[in-house]
Structures are given as C-alpha cells and as structure tokens.
Structure 1
Amino acid sequence: MEPEPDSYSYTLSLILITIPSFEIIAGIAMIFLLLLCAAFLSAAEVAFFSLETDDYEKIQQDNRNIGVRLLKLKEDTRRLHATILISSSVVNVAVILLFNAVLSKALSPQILGDWAANLASSSGFSLNMSIDMMGKSLGFLIALAGATFLIILFAELVPKVYARLNKVYVSSIMVQPMYFIMTLGKPLIGAIVRWTKAVERQLAMAPYSTGGLASRKDIDEAIELTVSRAEDTDQEKDILKSLLKFGDVTVSQIMCARVDVVAVDIQSSYNTLLEVVRESGYSRIPVYNDDFDNVAGILYVKDLLGHLRESDDFNWQQLIRTSVLYVPETKKISDLLKEFQRQRLHMAIVVDEYGGTSGVVTLEDIMEEVIGEIKDEFDDEPEVIFQKIDDANYIFEGKTLLNDVCRVVGIDTDTFDQVKGEADSFAGLILELLGDMPREGQEISYNSFHFRIVAVNERRIERILITIASGE
C-alpha cells in the first residue's frame, strides 16, 4: 500500500495548482492603492507639522496658489490633524478587511481549517468549534498580521522618514488632496473636532486634572525630537528648554550678588563718581547712603551727559532717580519681567527676608536666562569666569551661580536641587554639603561629581575644582 500523502504537502499542492482569479488580482491591486493612500497621508502628517517659517516662504515663492492654501491649512491645525487621522484610520481598516477578503478567496476555509486543526493538535490544544469556524478565525489572524506588517512598513515608517527629509516637496504635492478631503468631509470632521474640544474642556475641569497635558520631561523630549539636529539649531533648542524652565527660576538664581555690585555712596564727590562710571561701563548705578542696605536710588549714566564739564563740587545727587523697585529673592523672574514692563524699569534691588540688600537684578539678567549671555562693546571679560582643564575638570569661582556652573559643564540645571537647600552659588552648595567652612585642599563627593577646594579664606570659598566622572 502507498503511504498517505502528508497533509501539509497536500495543502501546498492545492495552493500551487490554484490559479488566481480576477477578484484576487483586483483585491491585491486595491490593497496596493490603499497602502499608497495611507503612505501619502502619513507623509503629509509629518511634512505639514514640521514646516518652519522659512519653508512657508519658499513654497509661496515657488507657487503662490499652493502657498495660500497651505497657510489656510495652517490656520486650522486641529481640523487638519483630525482629517489626517480619520482618513488614515479609514484606509488602514479598509486594508485589513480587504486583505482578509483576498485571503479568503485565495485559501478556502477547508484548507485554513486543516491548518488550524493541525496546529491545535500539534500544540496539544483542543478547540470546541467546527473546522469551518477554525479556518475563518485563522484566516482573519493571518490577514490581521499581514496587513499590520504592510501598514507599519510601507504606510508608516518609510513615508514618514521620507517626509522628514523632503517636507517642503511633500507638503506642496499634498496641499490640494488634503484641501479636497477637508472640504468633502467638513460636516463629519467638524463634528468630531467640536466633540473633542468638549471632552478636553471636561477633562480640564475634572478635580483630578493637573492642569497640564504633558509633563516637563515629556515636553523636553518632544523638543529633542522635533527640533532639527542641524548645527544651527542648537541655540533654538537651548532657548526652548530655557523657556520651559523660565517660570520656575527665582531672582536669587540670576541676580548679581551684593559683593559684586558696583555702587556709589551718595556722599562721593563728582570726580569719584565719574571714575566709577568709566571703570564699570554700566548704564545704571545704584546709589546708597552710608551702607548698601540703605539704597537712595538709581543713577542713570545718560543723565550725566550734559554735565561732563562740571567741577568736583557739582551736585550730582539731584540726578538720582528715587523710584526704586525692591523685590524679594524668592520672586519668580517671569513675574519680575511683567513688573519691569509695567513700571518701565530695567533694574531692581533684591532684598532678603530681613530687609537687607542681597544684590541687584536687571532686565538683561532675565533675557540672558532665555537666550544666553548678551555681550556688548563694554563686556571685555566673560560673565562666568572659569578655567577648563579638560572635558571633565573645571575650576570656578565660589561666587559663580549654580545655574551658570551647570550650563558651562553641560549638565541639567536641576542636578543639585536635592542637596543645594537655599544655596544659589557654587560656594553655597559646598557649604550645604559640608555644613561647615571647608579648608583648602578638602575634597567632597556627591553622586558622580567630585569637588576640591582650591582657595578659601576666613570668610568665603574663593575657587572650587569640579571633576565629572565619565558617563555623567
């Protein structure tokens, strides 16, 4: 007797002798077209939402009509995004259903049922269902897996990578189709957009709502992903990250400390005042009476321009502006910026909890917190004085603000938040870590950082060496 043919070989022979019908060929063609539509939609999503101002100008120069329509789409990004998402979802579902239909035509339920029965028996499972039902279930699972693979590869990954590299070209060719789809589906898309807005309002009003849709870490990661990695965009990323932290920065973190403030005594002679003005190069100088805790006002150097030839006994005190803004150390710089704008001032005196003067803060200090150091023709020396020994070793003055230390060495400005206490300077951090005045040469470690006191006197820590362990 001849042995029974192997069931898998028998099934394979049935497949091989089956000639694809017109319905199968048409179905495969439809799947290809739908995948192409899904690919265009995915590419459009990336291209539209990654365009920058220069890109819009370039498109308008090349084709004004396309540029005008693109700007109209930009004005309603919520509706545009909804249109792309709804269209992509419809197309993807259609691909899966059509894939399943083609598979059902290509493979009969009996063949799929035999496969399912063999799989169940070989794996030791017993399914209480008919062969036909098992075949249909297996066919749908195969269709789902196959369609998902095709969608992810050809309708998601490939087009999105291409669109990121050719965003202007993709946006130009997809403006007209997206404008047509948005017009065609306006009633449905409008209803969905209104419904999502209502849901968002309800969620925002919920008692458990935190008031924010994303954490700072999420936004920080989004900045890294969305901003181009070209060399000329590093400053843009720094500005965006600085704006993200802007609302949490206090005056004490950016102020000029009392020991570094250039100020004049109200009893000083006119020649002494002019000498201070020439040496400092500042446009505004605080004036105090006997002690810096008793600030009499602010002298604007421009007010001296008409009196440069006056004698030493000139009464320059009459030029002092007594409208002084006093702010606490804990005031947020975002609030101080609004106060500067409201009162049209550029300088404020920072006071501590006891009313003593801690230092001064200017509008320039606030702006530098966002856009980085601002240099003019009088800034001969760097604002942050440090010595870079190598990529892992730096020497800073003790009075250097912690924010500036972190920026220079390239670490997050909140690295020492858990141990710095109320300290804002590098020396203050060391005092918080030790709890006492250190001696010269003393070494302290914190996490991956190693500190060594380079110079210290009886009253203050002058210079500190920071060493960053590899991998930080």
Structure 2
Amino acid sequence: MEDLPLQLFGITLLVGINAFFAASEIALVSASEVRIQALLEQGDRRARLVQRALENSTQFLATVQVGVTLAGFFASATAATELAGPLNIFLSPFVGGLAGPLSLVLVTFGVAVVTLVFGELVPKKLALHHAEAIALATAEPIYWLERVASPLVRFLSAFTNGILVLTGTPVQETQDVRVEEIKAMVDAARAGGAVGEQERRIIYRAVELPHIEVRAIMVPRVQIQYLAITTTLDETFTIVSENAHTRLPVCDGDLDNIVGVLHVKDLIRPLPQLAAHPPSLRELLRPVYYISEHYLAGDLLRDMQKNRLHLAIVQDEFGGTAGLVTLEDVLEELVGEIRDEYDAEEEREFRRVSISEGIFKLRASIGTVNNELDLVLPRDEFATLLGLFLDELQRSPIAGDRIELEGVELTVLEDGQRVRVHKMPPAETDTDTF
C-alpha cells in the first residue's frame, strides 16, 4: 500500500503518453497546410518537421500506433498487477471468493475508461481546436521517437507485408479517394461554414468533370454553324458579322468533311493586304482537332491547355461529325453558364414556372436542374439535359421530344433549345377500406 501513490503516478504517466501520441496524430493531419507553408517560408524548423511527418505519413502513423499500443498495454498491465491486489483485500469482506476476479475486472475497466477519456477523446478534441500549435509543439519529439522506433517499425512493416503477400493482397499503398468521399468532405465543410454554396457547386463539378463524356456537353451536329469551303471572302465577312462565334468549322460538302477551322482573327488580321492580294478561304484555315464522342471532358481540358485549343470536332463511332465542343463548353461544366455581351438577356439557363416546373436551356447542367427543382436526376454518365436526351434517344433531340425519368417529365420546346422540366406528382395508389 505504501507504493500506491507511485503506482498511480506511473499509470497517470502512461495515460499522459497515450494522450501525447493521440493529440500529435490528430494535430499533424489536421494542421492547415497554408499556415504550415507560411511558417516554412519563414524558416521555422518545427514547420519543416511537420511537413516531413506529413510527407512520410506511413512512418509517422506507425510510430504513433506503436506508442499508443505500448502505453495502453503497460497502463493496463500495471493496474492489473499493482492495483488489483489492494482492491481485492478491500472487497474480500463483502464478496468473499469473488473479490479476486471482481477486483481485476473493476481495475481493468477503470483504467480503460480513464485511458479512453483522458488518453484519447480529450486530447483529440483539443488537437482539433489547436491543430497548428500542438502539431508544432509535438513535431520534434515525434521526429526523435520515429528515429528510435525505426527498427521496430520496419520489422512490423515487413511482418505485415509478409502477411499481405500470403493472403494475395497488394502491398503497395493506394491513396485513391472516391468522388463520393470528396463530396462528403465538401458537404461537411459547407455545413461548418468553411465553404460557400457557389464553391461547393464548383468543387462538385470539378470532381465530376473527369468522368463526363464530351457527347454530354457538345453542341450537337444539327446546331453547328459552319462555312462552306466555296464561300467567298465577302460572304464570309457577312456571315461572321452576323453571329457571335470567333471560330467556325469550314466544310467541303457537308459536316462529315470538315477541312479546317476559321478563326475570325485570321480573317481580320490581313485586312490591309486583302484588296491587293485576297487569299482564298482555305489559306486562312487552321487544322481540325478530332475527338471521339466518348472522350472524357477532363482529358479534353488538359489537351486544350497543352495544345492551345479552343474548339474540337466530336466524331461518332462511324467517323461522322456528331458535334463540336469548345473550351467555353468545358469551363461551363465547372462554373456554370458563362454569358457575354453577345448572349441575349432573355436566354437564361433557368426560368421557374411553378414549384415543380421550370424551363431550362437544353445545355443546362443536370446539377442546376436538380438544385432548382429539388430533383435527383442521374448525372453519372452525362452532365447536361442534352446529354440526358442523347443517352435516352440515341440521337440529337428535336422539338417535341419527350422522356420520363425518375418521376420527371422532360419535353423539348418548339425552338429546340429549351426543355420544360416537370416534376410529376406521385402516383395515387388505391387502398381498400375495411
């Protein structure tokens, strides 16, 4: 009994060590990278150690896990061997022969509760609220503990990898994050006020973009404005001045034989020389960039950035022209509709008719439709209403086309550019009255 204070101190110390590791783990993974980077640029050594721990997270997390496990084990073992005896003596007059097992259970349970509350929950809560401060304070001790524990961690890692090999599980680490997980994190940030609604929508669209096929966002063949290769320069000037496009495909015959793309700047730049040496339309053309209708929008965006492209022609499986897609089309999937001074004021992406009905542009994003009318239209394979119609009809939509999906009726209006979206009331079911 004389050693009881020392034993309690030892257990308290072990719980404190457990708390240290638990707090350092949460603090390091929760610390703001922006703030740590700012301190790093100021030459802060502790910030450099934090960055090192994050870059070598496997070693760091393994060291923390070893520390937590050993601290918890020794705390429980010390309590079981040193505190169970005195408690056994105290309980013997009351429960007789049950005093031994009961004292062991009570001591183990008590240490487990204390370790859970003061060694895990409380330090982790504190670390979340003071992530940077605790991360900087614990970075150096963790660094030295990593070096000391390195042989043990390597042995355990090799042993673990051996078991994985025996079970046929790949040893290499994977850090793939699913779209749903990213959205869940964004939703949590939105609920906490760290991310606004507009930012949430952009992030949603950004993680969905790599999975969207260009056929879902392209301008369909029937809506393409183009020039014939036989068009004279005077006729070309007239056509260009009457529309707002800066690039037009030029065809020899029909849209299945596009010979180049005319950039308005290439037409205007040599104006002083046109009178003396008028070039042919073919001389002003730029090469055509072709892609499959199943090409992914994310890949197209990278191609456009790399090759300084603004327009691509989309081909179907037979090599015919299915449509065209511009850089603006891709960017609108990220930020929503981009309107300039040439877009008519009345051409809005959405106009509400009632609480359950709205009129949308054919190329409005399905995300916008879902948000405005509180719908759950699928958006896994297509991003716009146009893509939805293409998928359902297997052709470009025309005026009067109508589809029903997920309890929603979608009808292409007479102009062929807008869609009436109507959320149908749930079907009434007949019930028998007894």
TM-score class normalised by the smaller sequence: 0.7 to 0.9
- 1:357 is matched with 321
Are residues 1:287 and 2:258 paired?
A: no
CA distance in 2, matches of 1:204, 1:404: 45
| Letter aligned with residue 95 of structure 1 | A
CA distance in 1, matches of 2:58, 2:353: 51
Are residues 1:464 and 2:414 paired?
A: no
- 1:319 is matched with 284
> How far does residue 320 in structure 1 lie from its aligned partner after superposition?
0.6
TM-score (norm 2): 0.76
Aligned partner of 2:311 among 325, 336, 347: 347
TM-score (norm 1): 0.71
CA distance in 2, matches of 1:423, 1:180: 58
Contact 1:253 1:403 in 2 (8 A): no
Residue by residue over 1:246-282, the C-alpha shift from the partner in whole angstroms, topping out at 9 and shown as x without a partner, is: 4432111222223443433333333443354455544
Query: Structure 1, unaligned stretches of length 5 or more?
Result: 1-20, 118-130
SS of residue paired to 2:283: helix
Are residues 1:29 and 2:41 paired?
A: no
> How far does residue 236 in structure 1 lie from its aligned partner after superposition?
6.2
Contact 1:288 1:294 in 2 (8 A): yes
SS of residue paired to 2:288: coil
- 2:29 is matched with 49
Aligned partner of 1:108 among 84, 88, 110: 88
Aligned partner of 2:136 among 172, 183, 192: 172
Contact 2:297 2:330 in 1 (8 A): yes
- 1:142 is matched with 106
Are residues 1:425 and 2:387 paired?
A: yes
CA distance in 2, matches of 1:239, 1:141: 54
* 1:106-255 to 2 correspondences below 5 Å: 106-108=86-88, 111=91, 115=95, 131=97, 135-196=99-160, 216-218=179-181, 220-221=183-184, 224=187, 229-232=192-195, 241-242=204-205, 244-255=207-218
> How far does residue 193 in structure 1 lie from its aligned partner after superposition?
4.0
| Letter aligned with residue 419 of structure 2 | R
> How far does residue 290 in structure 1 lie from its aligned partner after superposition?
3.8
Stretch deviating more after TM superposition (64-73 or 197-206): 197-206
- 1:266 is matched with 229
- 2:53 is matched with 73
CA distance in 2, matches of 1:24, 1:469: 73
Contact 1:39 1:156 in 2 (8 A): yes
| Letter aligned with residue 76 of structure 2 | I
Are residues 1:451 and 2:413 paired?
A: no
CA distance in 1, matches of 2:37, 2:306: 35
CA distance in 2, matches of 1:261, 1:327: 16
> How far does residue 464 in structure 1 lie from its aligned partner after superposition?
0.9
- 2:431 is matched with none
Higher relative contact order (CA 8 A, sep 6+): 2
Query: Structure 2, unaligned stretches of length 5 or more?
Result: 427-434
SS of residue paired to 1:185: helix
Equivalent pairs counted in the alignment come to 418
- 1:64 is matched with 44
Aligned partner of 2:262 among 276, 299, 304: 299
SS of residue paired to 2:54: helix
CA distance in 1, matches of 2:220, 2:207: 25
CA distance in 2, matches of 1:107, 1:364: 76
Residue by residue over 1:87-110, the C-alpha shift from the partner in whole angstroms, topping out at 9 and shown as x without a partner, is: 122222233223334541441168
CA distance in 1, matches of 2:44, 2:280: 65
SS of residue paired to 1:297: strand
CA distance in 2, matches of 1:22, 1:297: 95
- 1:91 is matched with 71
SS of residue paired to 1:57: helix
Larger radius of gyration: 1
Identical amino acids, percent of aligned pairs: 21
Contact 2:359 2:418 in 1 (8 A): no
SS of residue paired to 2:30: coil
Closer, same or farther in 2 for the Cα pair 1:333/1:101, shift >3 Å?
same
